[in-house]
Amino acid sequence: MHGKFVWYELMTTDMKAAEAFYRDIVGWSARDAGVPGMNYTLFSAGDHRVAGLMTMPEGALDMQIPPAWLGYIAVDDVDETAAKLAAEGGTVHRAPEDIPNIGRFAIVTDPHGAAFALFRGDGDPPPAMEQMAAGNIGWHELMAGDLDTAFSFYSKLFGWTKDQAMDMGEMGIYQIFAHNGQPIGGMMTRPREVPNPFWLYYFNVEAIDAAIDRAQSGGAKLLMGPMEVPGGAWIAQFTDPQGALFALVAPKR
């Protein structure tokens, strides 16, 4: 499990609106998690829980932190990995702590400022979905501060390996990375017009054009797409109505 993305969490300014939006776009079901003293919603694809939804932490808006999706990466030891991350130039923003009956986590950024979380769950993990199953998160993309240093950082922490590399011309190299031999995402040096490094998550849908229509009707802003990518899939990138970046991927137009 070490090095695998296992959870995704949306921190937003309007939980009710965000829940309705993603239920419509991705086809998730939603229910309250029943966490005492906390309003937390679970998104599911069929019988598989795939993501969480919560209100942005107090003070985040004052710090001009926009709504965002956060990916959780499984590790064998949260404290050990957090210490290694800091030694490699990353920053621990929320020190390792326990969630009762769930697991242990830490909120961190890589050396260039892209945010993600470390996580070790209690007990055995639930059965995994097929990577490209509808409603799952099929791809993980890093707009890095610098491709070479970012890949070195993540490979040291998580054992990720290089898969295919694609020359994007003036945009540079798009490096696909793998976990245990399975390609799970890509990274590239961010374009100049992108102000800060970030992780972008691609949600699987059945057909891209219909999903784009649903997203735009629901108030999303289309940033890019639809675009066909190597292998025949179609992608599109958006900001949701509250401003969080997300993307969609589908096997057909």
Question: In which residue ranges of the chain is CATH 3.10.180.10 found?
Answer: 5-121, 137-206+223-250
The string of pLDDT tens digits covering residues 5-15 is 999 999 999 99
The string of pLDDT tens digits covering residues 89-148 is 999 999 999 998 899 999 999 999 999 999 999 987 777 889 999 999 999 999 999 999
5-121: CATH architecture:
Roll (3.10)
Q: Write the single-letter amino acid at 35.
A: V
Enclosing H/E stretch for 220: none
Distance CA 92, CA 17 (A): 31
Sign of the CA dihedral with 53 first, then 155, 193, and 207 last: negative
User: What integer pLDDT is reported at residue 52 of this predicted model?
Assistant: 97
Distance CA 232, CA 194 (A): 26
Residue 31 in this model has a pLDDT that exceeds 80: yes
User: What integer pLDDT is reported at residue 228 of this predicted model?
Assistant: 94
Q: Write the single-letter amino acid at 251.
A: P
Distance CA 149, CA 139 (A): 21
Q: Tell me the CA distances in angstroms from 7 to 41, 42, 58, 168, 192, one per residue in order.
A: 13, 11, 22, 30, 30
For the chain, what is the largest distance between any 2 Cα atoms, rounded to a whole number of angstroms? Answer: 51
Three state DSSP letters for 48-92: EEEEEEEECCCCCCCCCCCCEEEEEEECCCHHHHHHHHHHCCCEE
- Lowest-pLDDT choice from 6-10, 40-44, 227-231, 242-246: 227-231
Is the domain covering 137-206+223-250 a CATH 3.10.180.10 domain? yes
Q: Which of 148, 206, 212 is nearest to 177 (CA)?
A: 148
Distance CA 29, CA 51 (A): 11
Three state DSSP letters for 12-26: ECCHHHHHHHHHHHH
Distance CA 202, CA 237 (A): 8
The string of pLDDT tens digits covering residues 67-90 is 999 999 999 999 999 999 999 999
Helix (H/G/I), strand (E/B), else coil: 147: helix
Name the pTM for this structure: 0.96
User: What integer pLDDT is reported at residue 50 of this predicted model?
Assistant: 96
Q: Which of 155, 173, 154, 172 is nearest to 164 (CA)?
A: 173
Backbone angles phi, psi at 123, to 5 degrees: 75, -170
User: What integer pLDDT is reported at residue 68 of this predicted model?
Assistant: 96
| Gyration radius of the chain's alpha carbons | 17
Distance CA 146, CA 228 (A): 25
